[in-house]
Structure 1
């Protein structure tokens, strides 16, 4: 038996921001990315709120939000009896707001507060997940907070908010969506429900991400990628993830590569490892037929012949490489600019941290630290 809860109310499509007009007489803590404030976009979003609401705005958000940011956000509310936490931005802003919400409630504040998320990127799916990743800057370690208590009550998905997203961020966040969907699909906790969500997200990414990257004003592509992000988030919220994210969490804390870009760099190497399939034709192979079969199913979904599990894995990785080239993505850590000496210094620590990461538990192949080190070295 397994249980699934799709708690978050989704407000989707053009004009979805009008949902904000329904909230009245609330004490709202707004947690937002700072550039939204500077650009005036945040003011335009908040203009949809009724004048009866009292608002406190916190915008001291940085990528990979540290514990200090969470504390500062809670303190910014002062003695105000917060009845709603409204997060506006990318994954960092939403993750930070979820952590603020959680820890404030543990301290006796924000007790009956509503948690509302408005994503301004199409990538993390954080608006429909009970995950939040917080960084200990001193230790250079990321800590996932996983609890249904931080699953947003409402998510407002208005694709107009991502029309001006730069192409490089479009690519990074889009590849994050693909990683979420593929990892959920091969997870040991995958179900018919998560499979359906992941399959749709994968198809949408391959069809619409290149379009959104090429032309940010392609409204249809933006809307489809916004939906793909949420679908993939719903998939991995029930099925969880795997070592692609475990390695990305650990390596991201050391090398500060954008999360989606790091996931992209690792992706084909993780697929190869999980399926135990070499991407070359040299040597005899004993693939994990069950795992390789899952990747084969994805390849077929994308229109590949995938006549065998091994061929399916190779065709899927080829398709991913082709997509990466369309998005001008680096194919290795070295290509991104990670220095060899820095890699050598941290690689063992990264592999050990990845082994302890919560996402590793549901990876389809049970790894050792040495095997994860091998994946990391292949990605360098």
Structure 2
């Protein structure tokens, strides 16, 4: 639904993310036509739309089919592989479209989904998600990234990379304590340079302090001058490595232009998961220290309702809430981690500007801290100058 192009809607007394004081915002013709300081208060909190740079739409909404609660990352991998053998195009489409609809209605505008790719030929999910990306264009801008074990990528990568280049995808690999690590990583970078592909790694997703795949990725990025095109997700082992070593590594990551995606949901659920014992270690990458070093840190939903993480709902504000609680973050300093920063890495802008689209999330709250405190606060998602959906407390 679009508003009347000739009618101006004024939202008064707003707190707008990133600005001091209260503001009146004017909306007409689907765009923000003006804003000015307001004498009113209590109009609510306006946030930009969200960007979710790390999801798994091929696996989503399969939790009810899992035989048990995964007690480790690798048990989850095995359970999901068994389920994947039974996937059909219809099953994939139904689950992925449900996820996109949930994300859209809760204010996500840009998303990247990793897709398991284990053989030279494209996986069954790839054409399904490619079709959905076209169908959802203008609502959720969906970008796809392949996900292949690093050792396998050395063999089938030359078949995968041209397909990614043709379809606009991102090249991804799973790295964890691999043999011949340096040579395998170099081969991935060779493919990326040859086919002009961005890179997105699942790296060091465990609590072994000897897992140092991210070190090799950082050095290779720096050596080739590929800053801004290489993203590392997870980095759980950084939480248990020597702090001085990690500090130097993060400085080097910032210099190289590496991005870091932290996944508070699935990582806290799977790491140190011993049946019958409360976990002591949650595997949260040192996001405060990375941010302080100058690394561009982002947050993502990761797995949603599958064998890796049976919770979540593609709500990036909820992801921010979880990160704030687990990471002891100041909410106002981390809003960009679910919006402008990941959107920029995916080639989109979500800034709220006069003349720009009237796309935003409006909460019935006093400030962002209040939003974090009250998960059930009324939320309106605005798209094209009209309310798409409203959630009430």
Higher helix fraction (1 or 2): 1
TM superposition score category, shorter chain reference: under 0.3
Report the TM-score, using the length of structure 1 for normalisation: 0.27
Report the TM-score, using the length of structure 2 for normalisation: 0.26
- Of structures 1 and 2, the one with the larger relative CO (CA 8 A, separation 6+) is 2
Higher strand fraction (1 or 2): 2
